[in-house]
Structures are given as C-alpha cells and as structure tokens.
Amino acid sequence: MKKYNFNAGPSILPREVIENTAKQCLDFEGSGLSLMEMSHRAKNFQPVVDEAVALFKELLEIPEGYSVIFLGGGASLQFYMIPLNFLIKKAAYLNTGVWAKKAMKEAKLVGDVIELASSAEANYTYIPKDWTCPADVDYLHITTNNTIYGTEVRKEYDVNVPMIADMSSDIFSRPIDVSKYDAIYGGAQKNLAMAGVTFVIVKNDKLGLAPREIPTMLDYRTHVEKGSMFNTPPVVPIYCALETLRWLKANGGVAAMDKIARERGEIVYGEIDRNKLFRGTVAEEDRSLMNICFVMKDEYKELEKEFFDFATERGMVGLKGHRSVGGFRASCYNAMSIEGCNALVQCMKDFEAKH
Ligand SMILES: *Cc1c(COP(=O)(O)O)cnc(C)c1O
C-alpha cells in the first residue's frame, strides 16, 4: 500500500533526493568509494559544500555579507550559540511554544532576556500580536513555525531591530527577506534533509561584537572562516541537503513551494472546517501551512483512536498529534504532494460517512 508520510520530523523528503543520496552512499560519483567512507577534505567533496552554499544563497536570495554554514548539534545547540555570539546587552524573545521557551532558557545563561509576549496561557494556540519591540535590544528572536502547535508567522515582522529566527520547520517553504535578520537557523530534518546537520545563515559584520570569550567550536567565526570544515562535518546529511536544494531549484524554488503550501492548506483546513467530526486547534489567522493540527470535536472525542487506526490502515503515517496538544497533526512539508493531502481528506470524508 502507498504510504503518505505526515511525520513532523524527521519527515518526508522527495523520493529522488532519497534515491540519489542512497546511490552516492554506494559509490560516490564513480570514485569507487562510498560517501560514508571518504574524507570530507577529499577534492570531490568540497564541491558538494560549495554548491549547497551557492544554492542556499540563490534560492533564498541571500544578500551580500551573509555566510551559510553547516554544523552539528541541531537547532537545540543554536539556542545557546545564538546568544553567545549575538547578545551584547539584552535580547527580546517571542514565546510561541516549547522551542521558543528552550531558546529563551539558554539565552538567559548568557545575558538579559525580555519575554516580549507569550501565548503560554492558551497552550500556544495563537501567535501573540499585542507587543512592541524595544529599540534597545540586540535582536528579536522568533520561531517562525511552531512545529508542535501548528502556528506560523508566515511573514516578516516590521520591527526596528534585527531579527534572529528559528526556521527549522518552514525554511524554503516561502520567500523570506533575509536582510531583516542577523541570523536564521534550523535543524535540517524537517524540510531540508535527513537528520544530522544544522544550517545557519549569519550576517558577517555582526560576528565578533559580543563582549565575551567564546569557545572555539561555538564561535560562528570558526566555521565561517573554515567553510564548515573546521572539524569533520556530517557529510551524508550535507549531501542529502544538496540534493533537496537541487530539487527545490528544479521545482520552481521558494515561490513555487509557497504556492503549493497554500494549496495544501486550503485542501486540508478546508476539510477540517467542513467535516462535522473535526475542528482545528489554533487561531485561524495563525494556522501553519507546515503542521496542520486538528482534533475530534468534543461530542466525537471517543472516536479519536478509531480515526487514527482508520487512517493508518489507509496508508497515513505519523498523524498522531504531539502529546502536549493531542489529536492529530498532518505535517505537510515541501515534499508532501497534493495527492497526499487529497488522500487524507478522502480518509476524513469516509470516516465521517461511517459515523
Ligand atoms: C524540531 C525543532 C527544533 C529542535 O531541533 P533539533 O535539531 O532536534 O535540535 C527546534 N525548533 C523547531 C521549530 C523545531 O521544529
């Protein structure tokens, strides 16, 4: 049976990305060596990193003066590296969920942190809007897509300080104005590659300004200067990211991804709103196009497990909602087809007809 992968992360990748990466794992570009067993300093690996960086810059229209680096440690390590490198006096954080809170916790180890606003009291079912950012903070940190709750800031804020964003789960799903950010980071395993690599976009002239000694490995300058080759980078995940970047370019880039994301959203949210059994969990204007969260309406609560099994039998994978939200979460990253969304909708319709 055909499987439709709605996992939140690690998550769906285009089939050709998986096949091409698997092929290079057996024989890297005809060299007779596996991608897994060659040196990251080999002549034929440097072009992989170079092309990945070039495609990052091209696809996101990254202006001059920014570097793209690939690191280990996940987005979670960035929660600490960001303040270590960018926090001079104080920083503002928008608390939109567990990941934002974790980022804030690490920043507090480094300096003064202002929680600008929070939707914790409503279990993060909306993006706070009633705030103004003080002009004297070094940066405003935001989480553009809240993977767990299914809320998203699908635009650039108009603020008079630089922003820093965790874009782990919506990078390359829409055009962004990189010039508004001092840094953008994320784990690759949501929308870019297999797990194991973290991407960071940094504004070069903002590095080295923080008044503290930074451990070598946690200093962005180390990795910028060495082109992500200071120590051994995760070569297979980086190669996998390159394949996705090629796929993105061949499929119309971020503008095309934005368009199809909106189509997917209309299909799935449309059915959630129409179907008598289900309801969405977040404020309509903040609905994520990447992670679509929904539950059974109160009067049908007891059907939850039955729907999960019903959908699983029909090939839907990874629909279970995060434990802090419950219900269902259909993650619809770039590689999710309209066909996959239609299959989910059909499943919801059939289940409604049964009840
Ligand atoms: C998954 C996720 C993280 C954590 O990423 P790791 O790479 O596992 O550290 C952080 N932020 C967001 C928005 C996420 O979706």
**pLDDT value for 73:** 97
Both tokens of 13, joined, read 């990748």
Parallel, antiparallel or unpaired: strands 278-280 and 198-203 = unpaired
**pLDDT value for 311:** 97
Q: Is 127 in the pocket of ligand 1 (CB under 6 A)?
A: no
Q: Is 31 in the pocket of ligand 1 (CB under 6 A)?
A: no
Q: Write out the H or E segment, with its range, that includes residue 185.
A: strand 181-187
Backbone angles phi, psi at 206, to 5 degrees: -100, 0
Could you tell me where the DSSP H helices lie in 72-219? 74-86, 98-108
User: Which single residue is written with the structure tokens 């935001």?
Assistant: 142
Atom 8, ligand 1: which residue's CA is nearest?
Answer: 74
Both tokens of 150, joined, read 């299914």
Q: How remote is the CA of residue 229 from the centroid of ligand 1, in Å?
A: 23
Burial letters 168-179, b for 16+ CB under 10 A, else e: bbbbbbbebebe
Q: Write out the H or E segment, with its range, that includes residue 261.
A: helix 253-274
Q: DSSP secondary structure string, 97-164?
A: SHHHHHHHHHHHTTSEEEEEEE-GGGTT-S--------TTSS-EEEESEETTTTEE--S----SS-EE
Q: Which residues belong to the active site? A: 99, 166, 190
pLDDT above 90 covers a percentage of the chain that reads: 99
The residues facing 203 across adjacent strands are 66
The residues facing 294 across adjacent strands are 280, 328
Give the whole-angstrom CA distance, residue 323 versus residue 26: 38
**HEC readout, 79-111:** HHHHHHHHCCCEEEEEECCHHHHHHHHHHHCCC
Atom 7, ligand 1: which residue's CA is nearest?
Answer: 74
Confidence category of residue 282, pLDDT binned at 50, 70, 90 = very high
Confidence category of residue 206, pLDDT binned at 50, 70, 90 = very high
pTM score of the predicted model: 0.98
pLDDT of 226-263, one tens digit each? 999 999 999 999 999 999 999 999 999 999 999 999 99
Write the single-letter amino acid at 272: I
Residue (of 43, 121, 44, 112) closest to 83 by Cα position: 112
